Amino acid sequence: MAGPLEDLVARIHRRIDAFKETYGFDEVAVSVELVDGALHRLATLSAEPGYGFITLCPHCDEGEPEELIVPLGAIRELRIGKAEPEQRLGFVSPSE
């Protein structure tokens, strides 16, 4: 690791703020993809507990809130984009 996690997380937060300002968005969506392929939409990101681990707090639409404490090496990608309303997928039977 090339520096303290607090600095890394602060830089990610600054990058998110810069993205909002550059593109004029009031809100942005941040998601993280882990090396196992899991994708999480984040509400917050924290440098705690440290020692090579960070805490991801995904949005929870239903059920209890949760936090994921993951090693930094488990993160494949952080994505910042325009916040869009979540689409619900449904199934429509063909008309007879």
Q: Locate the domains of the chain by residue range.
A: 5-81
* DSSP reduced 3-state for 34: strand
pLDDT of residue 3: 66
- Which pTM value belongs to this model? 0.81
Class assignment of domain 5-81?
mainly beta
Per-residue DSSP letter, 49 = E
The pLDDT tens digits along the chain (96 residues) read: 456 889 999 999 999 999 999 999 988 999 999 999 999 999 999 999 999 999 999 987 777 889 999 999 999 999 999 988 765 555 655 654
| Cβ count within 10 A of residue 54 | 22
Please answer whether residues 43 and 57 qualify as being in contact, where contact means their C-beta atoms are separated by less than 8 angstroms.
Answer: yes
Please answer whether residues 42 and 59 qualify as being in contact, where contact means their C-beta atoms are separated by less than 8 angstroms.
Answer: yes
